[in-house]
């Protein structure tokens, strides 16, 4: 009932992962333990989420063998630079309680200091060559960031993790990734980020979208399950986040139905071209205020 994707270096990863972005640290261990017991075998975290320690705790509490879990984390921008990024690997693995990572990403490009972004990526290449990470990649890279990186480095990223849900489908990013053999990984895969728009009454919710709901009804599934299925059938990795056990289970129950081509197209057509998250071309000064603790 599970399925896997093969990265450009032959490493396989589960098609559906579990996300912990904005999981409060105190709830993360329980959520990860629940997810692993539910059947998820892929956890996506980041140094900047400040919950790597709790991810490691959830992994150990679950009793699931570490070797059976695909663990992915990200280097934060204040750790960019060659030596800094090598050190960031040490910090993350120490907190997670593992000696090897399955996937390590640069959290975002820093276009204003692209040299440091490149140096950080060169450190990932070294960790990869040494076998300390099984695959390396990037996150929030737009096509021009990706080509600029490819011009100056040797290992093609295995993954580019970007905001991707029915209201923001980024066809240009998906196309550039595919052309270079980079797997597209969707963050905010059910459009959780669009909930932020709703707070001031101006946003829309993918979960409440009439088109999504109609497709869900036709299959006897939920809107979240329909959106996750849409990612899987289009070959993307998705990493839904939830700290609620019922929703953790709901989001994993997506291997027993299939959407038709017309339904996939109807979901594609919901794209607004408007992102919910930050613009990767502009790095907010706030981002440089977060220093990742040693432990
Ligand atoms: P919660 O943790 O309380 O379940 P995304 O990963 O697309 O950003 O979405 C995450 C958001 O969506 C979180 O606020 C999460 O809240 C909520 N969520 C996760 N799964 C579901 C679901 N199946 N149905 C409705 N809301 C969900």
- Ligand 1: residues within 6 Å at CB? 19, 188-193, 207, 222, 224, 240-244, 247, 250-251
> Rounded distance, CA 211 to CA 217, Å?
10
Could you tell me if residue 295 is inside a domain?
Answer: no
* Residue to probe by mutation, ligand 1, list 19, 20, 185, 192, most atoms within 8 Å of CB: 192
Residue 22 DSSP class: T
Residue recorded with tokens 């737009």: 142
What domain range includes position 165?
A: 4-274
Could you tell me if residue 103 is inside a domain?
Answer: yes
pLDDT at residue 1 tops 50: no
Please report, for the domain that includes residue 147, its CATH number.
Answer: 3.20.20.100
Could you tell me if residue 293 is inside a domain?
Answer: no
pTM of the predicted structure, to 2 decimals: 0.96
C-alpha distances (whole Å) from 194 to each of 74, 188, 230, 275 are 23, 9, 18, 9
Percentage of the chain with pLDDT > 70?
Answer: 96
**Mean pLDDT for the chain overall:** 95
pLDDT in tens, 105-124: 999 999 999 999 999 999 99
Confidence at residue 203, expressed as pLDDT on a 0 to 100 scale? 64
Count how many domains the chain has: 1
Tell me whether 0.95 is exceeded by the ipTM.
Answer: yes
Confidence at residue 233, expressed as pLDDT on a 0 to 100 scale? 97
Measuring from atom 14 of ligand 1, which residue has the nearest CA? 192
pLDDT in tens, 261-294: 999 999 999 999 999 899 999 999 999 999 999 9
């Amino acid at each position: 009932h599970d399925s896997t994707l093969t990265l450009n270096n032959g490493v396989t990863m589960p098609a559906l992962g579990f996300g912990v972005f904005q999981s409060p640290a105190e709830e993360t261990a329980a959520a990860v333990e629940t997810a692993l017991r539910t059947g998820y075998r892929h956890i996506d975290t980041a140094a900047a989420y400040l919950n790597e320690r709790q991810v490691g705790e959830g992994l150990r509490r679950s009793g699931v063998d570490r070797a059976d879990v695909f663990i992915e984390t990200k280097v934060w921008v204040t750790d960019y630079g060659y030596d800094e990024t090598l050190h960031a690997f040490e910090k993350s693995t120490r907190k997670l309680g593992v000696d090897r990572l399955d996937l390590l990403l640069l959290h975002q490009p820093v276009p204003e200091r692209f040299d440091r972004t490149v140096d950080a990526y060169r450190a990932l290449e070294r960790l990869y060559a040494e076998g300390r990470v099984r695959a390396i990649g990037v996150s929030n890279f737009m096509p021009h960031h990706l080509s600029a990186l490819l011009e100056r480095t040797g290992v093609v990223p295995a993954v580019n993790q970007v905001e991707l849900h029915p209201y923001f489908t980024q066809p240009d990013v998906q196309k550039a990734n595919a052309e270079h053999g980079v797997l597209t990984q969707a963050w905010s895969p059910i459009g959780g980020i669009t909930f932020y728009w709703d707070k001031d009454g101006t946003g829309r919710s993918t979960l409440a979208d009439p088109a999504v709901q109609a497709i869900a009804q036709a299959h006897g599934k939920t809107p979240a399950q329909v959106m996750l299925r849409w990612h899987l059938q289009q070959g993307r990795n998705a990493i839904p986040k939830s700290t609620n056990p019922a929703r953790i289970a709901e989001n994993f129950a997506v291997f027993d139905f299939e959407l038709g081509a017309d339904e996939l197209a109807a979901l594609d057509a919901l794209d607004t071209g408007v992102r919910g998250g930050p613009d990767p071309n502009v790095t907010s000064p706030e981002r440089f205020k977060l220093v990742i603790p040693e432990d």
